[in-house]
């Protein structure tokens, strides 16, 4: 038996996102989203996969939530699809969409599973993109707040935990820098920072509205946090790390936690002519909201190494591994500032993601000392190829090893003074990986489908039973 244990009320969970699981993309009055359109552009996703059917959670949510209950899950984090609630992004409500989420929430509550709702996990109503460019316009701020407010009022007696935006750093970077997410803009840095500014304001105004409607509720944003390590003690690499963190991590974390941009990064962007405009009134709103968030949501997958990058060095654009062929990912960086070489001490997944369990403890300690905020790990998991045997078993010992090492580090973080409220694995069932199709699997529950289709039947993997035991023993079953 290990000596570490999580508290009794610890939120052992698992997470998903609407587009990646629901399917039913045009059913029961749902409006189209930016993703419904984007996936139809040839070459954008692995083997042209879409979430049209996904893993059909829309029709199988009862079966999925029953499996969660069987496992003993304490919380289930899922996202609400904005265009299912407001097909045009605003205006008329789609009652069938509201009813669907009400049923999902009631099903969770029936089993004593705490629903944790993400308001925005990347599926924007297409109508808003077409009308004013979506996040590119400040008009989105009030539309987002209206959407969020509707949900707060409707579900205030049933849902305590809310997440405003999922991985704002990722959807904006992919959307406006690398062109790999909608709206598919390439290298538009000025817009990237302005879009982020709108998203920060949408988040902040939503937090303020929330506190008036559900004062006892808990709210935060989920950030894709990849802590960084300097390559070595050469001061030029140590300086590159500081700059990297300010530009790639604290740009978001400081805004959620303090309501301001890191000064050095802002100055750098100002000189480059791409800093966002910020008014005094906006600063006040951002700072007020930062005082009111209840936790920092962290999606943790990997860390990075930082090395100085000469002005003629690598750019932010490099080959990304979406096929699972190890070693195809290229080194990227900001010319004249930093680059992110591979970490020779760590192994990687088949999709070239660094595996660094200790980095999770590092992330928690950094957040604790910098913001003194409670933490919810809103995602962590291993994307891997899984095989179903003839007798319908999935022996995913590699996933168990990955999760075990990460949870152990998380327990150490708690033991060392971090206030961690919950841990959600990514993901409960297998689901659509945005750019990597269905072959990159994350779940405890195998879904019989590939890039073309399948029976969509569910099968419990070995990791299902393993996590069940972790939850039952509050983590005590995990040994170092
Ligand atoms: C996070 C997202 O970036 O990581 C999830 O919030 C996503 O939606 C997960 O699926 C894993 O990423 P990927 O690219 O392997 O699907």
Neighbours of 190 (CB within 10 A): 14
Q: Are strands 228-230 and 338-339 parallel, antiparallel or unpaired?
A: unpaired
Please count the other Cβ atoms lying within 10 Å of the Cβ belonging to residue 157: 7
Q: Both tokens of residue 180?
A: 């790999």
With a cut of 90, say whether residue 54 has pLDDT above it.
yes
pTM of the model: 0.97
User: Is the pLDDT confidence value at 1 over 50?
Assistant: no
Supply the residue whose CA is at minimum distance from atom 12 of ligand 1: 433
**What local confidence, expressed as pLDDT, does residue 329 receive?**
85
Lowest model confidence (mean pLDDT) among 71-75, 315-319, 402-406, 464-468: 315-319
Report the pocket of ligand 1 as residue ranges, CB < 6 Å.
17, 20, 166-167, 170, 224, 299, 379, 383, 426, 433-436, 440
Token look-up 């990791």 returns 463
Give the residue-averaged pLDDT of 3-20. 96
Residue 361 has pLDDT above 60, yes or no: yes
The residue nearest atom 13 of ligand 1, judged by CA position, is 433
Determine the residue of 172, 426, 441, 443 to mutate for testing ligand 1's pocket, defined as the one with the most ligand atoms within 8 A of the Cβ atom.
Answer: 426
Query: Rounded mean pLDDT of 301-321?
Result: 95
CA distance 147 to 89: 8
User: For the chain, what is the largest distance between any 2 Cα atoms, rounded to a whole number of angstroms?
Assistant: 64
Alpha carbons 436 and 451: distance in angstroms, whole number = 10
What does the pLDDT look like over 133-142, one tens digit per residue? 999 999 999 9
Cα(432) to centroid of ligand 1, in Å? 9
Neighbours of 74 (CB within 10 A): 20
**CA–CA distance, 79 with 90 (Å, rounded to integer):** 18
Q: What is the DSSP letter of 428?
A: S
Mean pLDDT, to the nearest integer, of 190-196? 98
Residue 250 Cα to ligand 1 middle (Å): 21
* 4 C-alpha to ligand 1 centroid (Å): 29
Residue with tokens 């109503």: 125
Work out the number of other CB atoms within 10 angstroms of the CB of residue 478.
22
Asked whether the beta carbons of 283 and 197 are under 8 A apart, the reply is no
Ligand 1 atom 8 nearest Cα: 17
Atom of ligand 1 nearest to the CA of 431: 10
Burial of residue 80 (number of CB atoms within 10 Å: 0-12, 13-18, 19+)? buried
Checking if the pLDDT of 355 tops 90, the result is yes
CA distance 76 to 78: 6
pLDDT digits (tens, 9 = 90+) for 279-299: 999 999 999 999 999 999 999
Please provide the DSSP assignment of 421-459 as one string: EEEEEE-SB---BTTTBTTSB--SEEE---SS-----EE
| Number of the ligand 1 atom closest to the C-alpha atom of 383 | 15
β-pairing verdict for 161-166 and 218-224: parallel
Q: How many helices (H) and strands (E) does the chain have?
A: 16, 14
Kindly report, residue by residue over 384-420, the tens digit of the pLDDT. 999 999 999 999 999 999 999 999 999 999 999 999 9
Q: 124-166: per-residue pLDDT in tens?
A: 999 999 999 999 999 999 999 999 999 999 999 999 999 999 9
Assign 438 to helix, strand or coil.
coil
Q: How many residues does the chain have?
A: 480
Question: In 3D, which of 151, 200, 122, 211 has the Cα closest to residue 435?
Answer: 122
Find the mean pLDDT for residues 243-269: 98
| Ligand 1 pocket test target in 299, 324, 438 with most atoms within 8 Å of CB | 299
Q: How confident is the model at residue 328 (pLDDT cuts 50, 70, 90)?
A: confident
Instruction: Compute the mean pLDDT over every residue in the chain, rounded to the nearest whole number.
Output: 97
Task: Please give the DSSP secondary-structure letter assigned to residue 110.
Answer: H
* Ligand 1 center to 81 CA (angstroms): 16
Which of 140, 10, 3, 14 lies closest to 466, judged by CA? 14
Q: Annotated active-site positions, please?
A: 167, 379
Give the model confidence (pLDDT) of 59-102 as tens digits.
999 999 999 999 999 999 999 999 999 999 999 999 999 999 99
- CA of 278 from ligand 1 middle (Å) equals 30
């Amino acid at each position: 038996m290990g000596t570490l244990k999580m508290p009794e009320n610890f939120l052992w969970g698992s997470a998903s996102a609407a587009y990646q699981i629901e399917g039913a993309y045009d059913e029961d009055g749902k409006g189209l989203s930016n993703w419904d359109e984007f996936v139809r552009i040839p070459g954008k996703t692995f083997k042209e996969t879409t979430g049209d059917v996904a893993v059909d959670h829309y029709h199988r949510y009862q079966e999925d939530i029953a499996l969660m209950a069987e496992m003993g899950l304490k919380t289930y984090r899922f996202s609400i699809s904005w265009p299912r609630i407001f097909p045009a992004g605003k205006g008329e409500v789609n009652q069938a969409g509201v009813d669907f989420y009400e049923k999902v929430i009631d099903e969770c509550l029936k089993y004593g599973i705490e629903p944790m709702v993400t308001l925005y996990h990347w599926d924007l109503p297409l109508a808003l993109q077409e009308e004013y460019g979506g996040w590119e316009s400040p008009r989105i701020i009030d539309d987002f707040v209206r959407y969020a407010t509707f949900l707060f009022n409707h579900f205030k007696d049933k849902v305590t935990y809310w997440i405003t935006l999922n991985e704002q750093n990722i959807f904006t970077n992919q959307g406006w820098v690398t062109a790999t997410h909608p709206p598919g803009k390439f290298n538009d840095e000025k817009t990237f920072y302005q879009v982020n500014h709108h998203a920060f304001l949408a988040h902040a105004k939503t937090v303020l509205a929330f506190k008036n409607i559900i004062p006892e509720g808990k709210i935060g944003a989920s950030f894709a946090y990849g802590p960084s390590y300097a390559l070595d003690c050469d001061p030029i690499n140590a300086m590159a790390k500081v700059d990297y963190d300010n530009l790639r991590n604290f740009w978001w974390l400081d805004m959620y936690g303090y309501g301001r941009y890191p000064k050095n990064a802002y100055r750098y962007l100002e000189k480059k002519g791409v800093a966002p405009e910020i008014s005094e009134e906006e600063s006040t709103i951002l700072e007020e909201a930062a005082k009111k968030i209840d936790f920092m949501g962290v999606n943790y997958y990997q860390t990075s190494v930082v090395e100085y990058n000469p002005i003629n060095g690598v750019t932010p654009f490099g080959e990304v591994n979406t096929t699972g062929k190890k070693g195809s990912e290229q080194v990227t960086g900001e010319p004249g500032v930093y680059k992110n070489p591979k970490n020779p001490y760590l192994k990687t997944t088949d999709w070239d993601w660094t595996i660094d369990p200790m980095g999770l403890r590092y992330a928690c300690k950094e957040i604790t000392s910098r913001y003194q905020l409670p933490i919810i790990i809103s995602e962590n998991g291993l994307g891997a190829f899984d095989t179903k045997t003839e007798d319908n078993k999935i022996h995913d010992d590699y996933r168990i090893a990955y999760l075990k090492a990460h949870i152990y580090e998380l327990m150490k973080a708690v033991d060392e003074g971090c206030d961690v409220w919950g841990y959600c694995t990514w993901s409960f069932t297998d689901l659509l990986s945005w750019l990597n199709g269905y072959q990159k699997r994350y779940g405890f529950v195998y879904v019989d489908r590939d890039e073309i289709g399948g029976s969509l039947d569910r099968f419990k993997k070995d990791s299902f039973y393993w996590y069940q035991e972790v939850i039952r023993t509050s983590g005590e079953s995990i040994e170092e």
